[in-house]
Structure 1
Amino acid sequence: MSYSGRGLQANVLGVFDTVVMAVAGSAPAYSIAATTAVLTGAVGVAGPAALLYCAVPMLGIALAFSYLSRIDVNAGASYSWVGRTLHPFLGFVSGWALVVSATLFMVAGSLPAGSMTLALFDADLAGNTALSTVVGAAWFLVMLGVVLGGARLTVRAQLLMSGVELVILVLFAVLALLHADSARPFDWSWFGLGQFDGVSGFASGALVAAFYFWGWDVTSNLSEETRDSRRTTGLAGLIGVGIVFLLFEVFTIAVNVVLSARQIEDNEANVLTVLGEEVWPGWGGKVLVVAVMLSTVATLETTLIQVTRSLFAMGRDRTMPAALGRVHRTWNTPWVAIAVVGAVALVLLVASNALGSVGDILSDAVSAIGLQISVYYGLAGLAVVVAYRRTLLKSPAHFLFGGLWPLCGALFMFWIFVESLGELSPASIAIGLGGLAAGLVPMLWYWRKGSDYYRPARLDASLTVPADSVPQVPATAHSRVHEGLPTDF
């Protein structure tokens, strides 16, 4: 490939910045508030078990991202890795799955941002879908401007929002543990497989759990803007998964103990607020509303980064309109991709008003996004095994962390995808599979136009220099990376 346009701004983010982005990408407060009711509806009190058994294969996928980022620095992440190991068509599907799921999340995330903001002033306004849409759109536009302003501005905003969010969550985790009154006593069986309604019930819970964790991989989409990215992005993703797993487990257990099934069902879009009121009457609900609002806005920002960096990589490769690969001369951000995503997301956000309440929209969107997440995570898990196939037997660590664990994670993701199809609502299936199918149009169009992406150099870890001896790849060097030339510049 002979792309000669401007690249993204290199060496902007450090290790701490990238860990913050990984945690913010999974949006702990938002995920707990928006998804706990969906998880409870799928598996009852077995939410802790669903999160635990999904965390193990998710760590395998995080290991896959870590190993792949060592040998291919690319803002498209799995889009590039899968295309260069399995097949370009599968690579495009992987990238497209991220683009569609992230765009859907603009709706699923903007609505709660609006409703949580309104709840700070009047709890009755929080359920007004139309007003929540207006306020959510305003937040979305603010984050769009921050992302357009560059990686430095993005991470500064993220440090503020996620820092306050995490302090509040830790405070309420302690308060929940000290809370005397309970709807039901703690039970270790919540971590057992016996609580699930058969195999299909477990798969439904795992699909929702996958949505909880989704977002930590934003670190890989920021690889071209990160210092020592071959080591940093993967490490930050692993740390991020560990941190959010602990938060998810603590709060899911707290919801089981403190809230009744009726309270969860009646407050499906703001379970965390009700939990706050129970453990700290008067102020608790409002303080946690602040945490959820900040978390939602923060993850809107990280999701915008993921989708716009993916579209930037696609535009650069000419698998999508080349204009998407343009970078702003001052801010070094993919401004065309940002503008396109912003326009599409706002249209979908307004259109979502016709679909029902905030809770209804969240439920269908979460399940649909879960299907798409399982596709691109699963493909990345397979890609690392192919990329490292010649080195897996060199040591037990290589075999376990670069092969077996990611492979098991990939198989788990594909399994929950298939099993969940029989359990999800027609709306969720239509959104999830329809969104993926829509990608066939640009894929076939640009394949016939002869994009070099569809004639890739194979990605082979045995032909690259070990990660600790490879310097940072400059943004302008991606043509050589895509041509399969050695990366020891």
Structure 2
Amino acid sequence: MIDTHATAPPREPLARQLARRKPIEQMVAGAGTDGTANSGKLKRSLGVWQLTMISVGATLGTGIFVVLGSSVPMAGPAVWISFLIAGVAALLSAVSYAEMAGAVPVSGSSYSYTYATMGEGLAWVCGWCLVLEYGVSVAAVAVGSAEYVNETLNIFGLSLPAALSAPPGGADGSMINLPAVVLVLLAMVLLIRGVSEAAWVNTIMVVIKIGVLLLFIGIAFSAFQASHYETLLPMGAAGMSAAASRLFFSYIGFDAASTAGEEAKNPQRDLPRAIIASMAIVTGIYILVAIAAVGARQWDWFDGTEAALLIILQELTGAKWISLIFAIGAVVAIASVVLTVLYGQTRILMTMARDGMVPRVLGRVSQRTGTPAAGTLICGSVIAVIAGLIPLGQLADATSIGTLFAFMLVNLSVIYLRRARPDMERTFRVPLFPYVPLLGAGMCVYLMVNLGLSTWWVFLAWMAVGALVYLGYGRRHSVASLAARRETVDSDDARPAN
């Protein structure tokens, strides 16, 4: 056992510590322990079905309910091709995640993969990006719940008071986004109780939101007109490509299953299957929704149309119950994303805590529930406050850079590990190596470069804060670095004196 409270040996040079890699065998053998008394093991209770639903739940969110209104005017009837292009771009990174999840079957997702291949410095940057991505994503998605809760209540002639529908600062006297707070706290309680229960609740929610979208597809296809596709590219190939870049972010979330490495029954077999299966499900649904929507309405009808799917159903059926079903479906979609992304956030922080990168309390596993209860309570409470009281504004856009940076590192990790350990057992191998991971990394860089300047400033500010946190805490408490330094001291003590 590593006694991190004992007098530590001299600190190693910063450059050497930043480059220090954590052996994969040590990661796998030590899953559930950080060498200190506060460690514990998570319960292996998730099969391939639950893992797939976690990724689908985190990916298939509210975006598809509103994304067509802004994407169809850019691409025209070819918007379904834009979805396909974006899906292929996301798949380039997804297959890299699948290979790394099978080769490094531990919690921590891209943070752990980067630690094993590129060293502590880039692993910290990746983990810090994920803290931003997951935390702000949960808050940003939860904030949208007030609108859909109001839509549901409006059907019964009710509505939430303005003071309880948005963070402070609005002209309507808003004070708190109460639905967002309640949603995050409910997800937090469910995750504390146990991952198995949370996974089944998420599965039910995913089935509901897929059912709502299939309902739309069925009704929209009943009014399908092939003439709407006579001019496939009215805005040219450039418009189709621009729409694909925007739609790429509708696929973010497929990596959620990779945070469940320690809770999967058979992680080396099931994690790659879950990641690829979730991408196939989400891409298929997106394309079918796009084809059905444009088949039911001319592409220029979507320009400036909000909640296009809901309006199409109302116009085609004339039934008010459609509004109720879609409003409830949107709330369920939000709840599913909040639950699965909060789950991923807590597991990444747990892994970082075990490595000494963040306070150890975030890595403690409850003996009663088999979950990182303390970390989930802290993380959920902070996010609930952010969602309820702080207008996120463009901070949410910075999650895009953090996500793309993490994707890029995973693609590069595959290349490194293939070169460094070609004989290592892999349950899934990226096809067409090294072209696929190189294309995946290149696509991430391209999308990052095309993000707005204000988003970059927010991201750089977050990285500056992260550097201070690492230098002030992570560098001093790094378990891997401390173990290496102790081994050096022990070997020096054992060396015969001249």
TM-score (norm 2): 0.78
The 8 Å contact of residues 27 and 296 in structure 1, kept in 2 or not, is answered as no
The 8 Å contact of residues 216 and 313 in structure 2, kept in 1 or not, is answered as yes
Residue 306 (structure 1) aligns with: 344
Q: 1:170 aligns with which of 195, 211, 214?
A: 214
Q: 1:185 aligns with which of 228, 236, 239?
A: 228
Rg comparison, structure with higher value: 2
Post-superposition shift, 1:409? Answer: 1.0
Residue 5 (structure 1) aligns with: 38
Q: 1:131 aligns with which of 157, 161, 165?
A: 165
The 8 Å contact of residues 115 and 127 in structure 1, kept in 2 or not, is answered as no
The 8 Å contact of residues 388 and 402 in structure 1, kept in 2 or not, is answered as no
Q: Are 2:457 and 1:415 equivalent residues in the alignment?
A: no
Write out aligned runs for 1:306-385 (5 A): 306-353=344-391, 361=393, 364=394, 367-385=397-415
Change (3 A) 1:320 1:393: closer
Post-superposition shift, 1:149? Answer: 1.1
Post-superposition shift, 1:46? Answer: 5.3
The 8 Å contact of residues 66 and 308 in structure 2, kept in 1 or not, is answered as yes
Change (3 A) 1:447 1:121: closer
Residue 69 (structure 1) aligns with: 101
The 8 Å contact of residues 308 and 337 in structure 1, kept in 2 or not, is answered as yes
Q: 1:449 aligns with which of 451, 476, 482?
A: 476
Post-superposition shift, 1:207? Answer: 4.5
How many Å separate the matches in 2 of 1:439 and 1:95? 10
Cα deviation 1:178-223 (Å, max 9, x = unaligned): 22579x8125735x993325xxx94x64443232111121111011
Q: 1:23 aligns with which of 33, 48, 56?
A: 56
Q: 2:272 aligns with which of 231, 234, 242?
A: 234
Amino acid at match of 1:185: H
Change (3 A) 1:164 1:456: farther
Write out aligned runs for 1:88-103 (5 A): 88-103=120-135
Indicate the larger mover: 34-43 or 209-218. Answer: 34-43
Cα deviation 1:268-324 (Å, max 9, x = unaligned): 4x4433233234322323212222111110110000011110001111111011111
Change (3 A) 1:99 1:214: same
Cα deviation 1:427-457 (Å, max 9, x = unaligned): x444444334432222222343151345899
Post-superposition shift, 1:232? Answer: 0.3
Cα deviation 1:28-74 (Å, max 9, x = unaligned): 5x120244445457666654333222222321211111111222222
Q: 1:403 aligns with which of 414, 417, 434?
A: 434
The 8 Å contact of residues 409 and 441 in structure 2, kept in 1 or not, is answered as yes
How many Å separate the matches in 1 of 2:153 and 2:141? 20
Change (3 A) 1:5 1:447: closer
Amino acid at match of 2:439: C
Q: Are 2:188 and 1:149 equivalent residues in the alignment?
A: no
How many Å separate the matches in 1 of 2:161 and 2:249? 23
Residue 253 (structure 2) aligns with: 215
Amino acid at match of 1:131: S
How many Å separate the matches in 2 of 1:4 and 1:187? 67
The number of equivalent residue pairs is 436
The 8 Å contact of residues 18 and 219 in structure 1, kept in 2 or not, is answered as yes
How many Å separate the matches in 2 of 1:127 and 1:248? 35
> Counterpart of 1:439 in 2: which secondary structure?
helix
Amino acid at match of 1:274: I
Change (3 A) 1:207 1:90: farther
Change (3 A) 1:323 1:335: same
How many Å separate the matches in 1 of 2:224 and 2:474? 62
Change (3 A) 1:330 1:180: same
The 8 Å contact of residues 48 and 252 in structure 1, kept in 2 or not, is answered as yes
Greater fraction of residues in helix: 1
Change (3 A) 1:178 1:425: farther
The 8 Å contact of residues 82 and 90 in structure 1, kept in 2 or not, is answered as yes
Write out aligned runs for 1:269-308 (5 A): 270-282=307-319, 283-308=321-346
- Segments of 5+ residues of structure 2 without an aligned counterpart are 1-33, 167-176, 485-498
Cα deviation 1:405-436 (Å, max 9, x = unaligned): 12211211111111x13xx373x444444334
> Counterpart of 2:108 in 1: which secondary structure?
coil
Residue 138 (structure 2) aligns with: 106
Change (3 A) 1:79 1:160: same
> Counterpart of 2:356 in 1: which secondary structure?
coil
- Segments of 5+ residues of structure 1 without an aligned counterpart are 356-360, 458-489
Change (3 A) 1:85 1:403: same
Q: 1:82 aligns with which of 110, 114, 125?
A: 114
Residue 161 (structure 1) aligns with: 205
Q: Are 2:221 and 1:194 equivalent residues in the alignment?
A: no
Post-superposition shift, 1:127? Answer: 11
How many Å separate the matches in 1 of 2:354 and 2:406? 20
The 8 Å contact of residues 97 and 410 in structure 2, kept in 1 or not, is answered as yes
Post-superposition shift, 1:402? Answer: 5.3
Post-superposition shift, 1:136? Answer: 2.2
TM-score (norm 1): 0.79
Q: 1:249 aligns with which of 270, 283, 287?
A: 287
Indicate the larger mover: 159-168 or 308-317. Answer: 159-168
Change (3 A) 1:441 1:34: farther
Change (3 A) 1:331 1:36: farther
Amino acid at match of 2:461: G
The 8 Å contact of residues 77 and 299 in structure 2, kept in 1 or not, is answered as no
Residue 466 (structure 1) aligns with: none
How many Å separate the matches in 1 of 2:423 and 2:431? 10
The 8 Å contact of residues 79 and 290 in structure 2, kept in 1 or not, is answered as yes
> Counterpart of 1:330 in 2: which secondary structure?
coil
Residue 172 (structure 2) aligns with: none
Amino acid at match of 1:373: T
How many Å separate the matches in 2 of 1:127 and 1:265? 31
